[in-house]
Chains A and B, each alone.
Chain A
Amino acid sequence: MTTTHDELSAAPVERTSEGAQELTSADVVAAAEGLRERGAVLRLSEADAAAIEPDQVAADETMIINMGPSHPSTHGVLRLMLELQGEMVLRCKPIIGYLHTGMERTGEELTYLQGPTNVTRMDYAAPLFTELAFSLTVERLLDIEVPERAVWIRMLMTEMNRISSHLLFMATNGMDLGAVSMMLYGWREREETLRFLQEVTGLRMNHNYIRPGGVAADLPDGWRDGVLRLLDMLPPRLQEYDTLLTQQPIWRERLQGIGVITAEECLALGVTGPILRSTGYSWDLRRDMPYLAFDQVDFDVVVGSYGDCFDRYAIRLAEMHESMKIIRQCLENMPKGDYRIQDKKVTPPPRARIDESMEALIHHFKIFTEGFKVPEGEAYVAVESPRGELGCYIVSDGTSTPYRMHVRAPSFVNLQSLPHLMHGGLVADGVAIISSVDPILGEVDR
């Protein structure tokens, strides 16, 4: 870099005066707030927005309470400021940042090879997807194609991860609504899928398995048995959940017609994933903008029709079946070959070569200390994570670390739908709604 420290410190870094992150009192902002929350989304005129506004209540009849950041049903450290009239939610403002650790900044310090260790910690329930988005972006910048086998391994592993993430949703959704047996079942089956991930990657979570150029290691001996065992075990268990919950009157009572959102609102708010599909809008990046080899496998995109919490539950349950379909096709079609690209610029030499070749040792050392250089440029690549569109935007300045690494986290954007979903509902419905949005706070705050 040619910039000196003086030049760098010349830019002003001053205290900002943006005010507190608070919910302003209702009598000050009622009309404006209503227009902002619904008018902007539905593109209503001011008069139309005022018409759908329920009768304004005086400020002394409402109460502003904080739900969270440490609340069992906020999935970590989400804080919601709720304005309540009795038990009805009038307004809601999600306040985030409690888990912010500057991972995008950290990503600028790490080489492209170290990058996946960082991004995998964002969405800790579905870590392979962030690794995948990061790796695909780096490969796009490098203009390299990974071998067939690596592509199919990536598909197999991410679909397995989708199942484990949805099982986690089933567990926490059950827990939030008081179906404690569902919680235990969900954790139990998730542990089985994580065990398979552990057999392959070495870790239950935060795998650092998908890396630029391929995957970290080939599938171990006996992986087919592991997959088949899961494919045998899961369908009857999912059937159990179905029996336990889907037709159960209490479950339906708690979820049906709760937290309704329309497709138009979803698109305006940028909401993706199961929430968008629950409105009947058929959009799945795996099918609509295929990456990896998703254009070669056969699966269905599951959509709902009412856009409520029940649809979002049912979609995730059905998506697990679709993932199993894809996994079965991965089993059948898994090609032979290399699990990472044999490009000496990107791939370290095999371990055995290091013992006999000085050059291999130097090469190995250089790749792991300096990293490989990525040509100047910028790219954005998105994948369909269990929560929606997960994108990665990388700017490279030609060195071995990203100049800027940004992750478009689906949970971060999906959280914007909370005020719409919760408006006019009860606090207890709020719990069901947060649960059905399924935010992962590690990804929200990054």
Chain B
Amino acid sequence: MADDAATGAGEVEPQDGREAAAPEQLHGHEVTRSHDQVVLHPAREQYPDLLKALHDDGFHTVVDLTCVDYLSHPGRAGLPAGLHTERFEVVVNLINHRRRERVRLRIQVPESDPQLPSAFELYPGTEAMEREAYDMFGVAFAGHPDLTRILMPEDWIGHPLRKDYDPGRIPVQFKGAPANR
């Protein structure tokens, strides 16, 4: 069933059947499988080194970088046992064109210090995606050359995709409401 695969029971039966007991490793990180997709869970400090290793391994493109706010769903699925969870999770999808493989990184980012090293130097294509994650979630990327808002207006307050952001706050400006400018 899908539930098994998602909650981790599916991990002990890897598709290739090579390893049954010890968890699969990739670049020194435990591999979990989410619906047949390879997921790694580096700590924040290990993230730049892992990116470097993956880049040398042929993962030349960061396809996608986004963030998830687990404020109202802290007990999420698919994490290896014993991993300390945090409120934010930055999700990075990489692709290896030669071997036609994908790998996904899920990095825990704490609410008290929402920042992560930028992947820009290795993967300049993350420029806009990191800006989007910053704009929408307020996760800062240290070393990003131009960390400004990208989708929201530059004087916007708050980060709209955070779960505690109340989207109903914006006054509706018709029906005779006094204009605010």
Chain A residues with a Cβ under 8 A of chain B: 1, 3, 8-11, 13-16, 18-21, 32, 36, 40-41, 96-97, 100, 102, 104-105, 140-143, 267-271, 283, 288-289, 375-380, 382, 389, 391, 393, 395, 397, 403-404, 406, 408, 412-413, 415-416, 445-446
Contacts and interface: CB of A to CB of B under 8 A. Distances in A.
Given A270-B63, A377-B2, A377-B6, 16 more contacts: A8-B164, A10-B164, A13-B159, A13-B164, A14-B158, A21-B149, A41-B124, A100-B151, A268-B60, A271-B125, A283-B97, A377-B78, A379-B34, A380-B93, A393-B91, A413-B125
Interface in B143-171: 145-165, 167
Nearest to A270: B125
Contacts of A393: 64, 66, 91, 93
B42 interface: no
B164 A377 contact: no
Contacts of B175: none
7 contacts: A97-B149, A102-B167, A267-B60, A270-B123, A377-B35, A379-B37, A445-B151
A141 B127 contact: no
A66 to B, nearest CB: 15
Contact of A289 (B100, B126, B145): B100
A91 to B, nearest CB: 12
A408 B128 contact: no
Nearest to A15: B157
B58 to A, nearest CB: 11
Which bracket fits the contact residues of B? 35 or more
A183 B37 CA distance: 43
Contacts of B60: 267-268
A320 to B, nearest CB: 25
Interface in B10-38: 34-35, 37
A269 B148 contact: no
Contacts of A32: 145
Nearest to B87: A11
Nearest to B106: A378
Q: For the complex, would chain B's binding face be called helix, strand, loop or mixed by DSSP majority?
A: loop
A141 B35 contact: yes
A105 B34 contact: no
B162 A13 contact: yes
B51 to A, nearest CB: 13
Contact of B68 (A141, A375, A395): A395
Interface in B45-82: 60-64, 66, 68-69, 71-73, 76-78
Contacts of A9: 164
Given A375-B2, A391-B63, A404-B68, A268 B125 contact: yes
A290 B130 CA distance: 29
B50 to A, nearest CB: 18
Contacts of A104: 136, 161
A-B pairs, top 7 by smallest CB distance, nearest first, are A270-B125, A377-B6, A143-B2, A408-B64, A376-B77, A97-B151, A8-B164
* Max chain B Cβ within 10 angstroms of own Cβ: one of A104, A269, A378, A382: A378
A375 B148 contact: no
Given A1-B72, A379-B34, A391 B93 contact: yes
B2 A141 contact: yes
A11 B164 contact: yes
A100 B97 CA distance: 32
A273 to B, nearest CB: 12
Contact of A16 (B77, B100, B149): B149
Contacts of B145: 32, 36
Nearest to A1: B72
Given A268-B60, A391-B64, A375 B6 contact: yes
Given A13-B164, A18-B148, A375-B2, A380 B64 contact: yes
B41 interface: no
Interface string B107-131: 0000100000000110111111100
Contacts of B149: 16, 18, 21, 97
Nearest to A404: B68
Nearest to A416: B128
Contacts of B71: 3, 8, 11
A85 to B, nearest CB: 22
B73 A403 contact: yes
B121 A382 contact: no
A406 B64 CA distance: 10
Nearest to B64: A408
Contacts of B100: 288-289
A378 B148 contact: no
B1 to A, nearest CB: 7
* Max chain B Cβ within 10 angstroms of own Cβ: one of A11, A403, A446: A11
A98 to B, nearest CB: 9
A341 to B, nearest CB: 14
B93 A377 contact: no
B149 to A, nearest CB: 6
A15 B157 CA distance: 5
A391 B164 CA distance: 26
B128 A13 contact: no
Contacts of B3: 375-376
Given A97-B153, A100-B152, A393-B91, A13 B6 contact: no
* Max chain A Cβ within 10 angstroms of own Cβ: one of B7, B91, B125, B155: B125
Contact of A143 (B5, B151, B160, B167): B5
B108 to A, nearest CB: 14
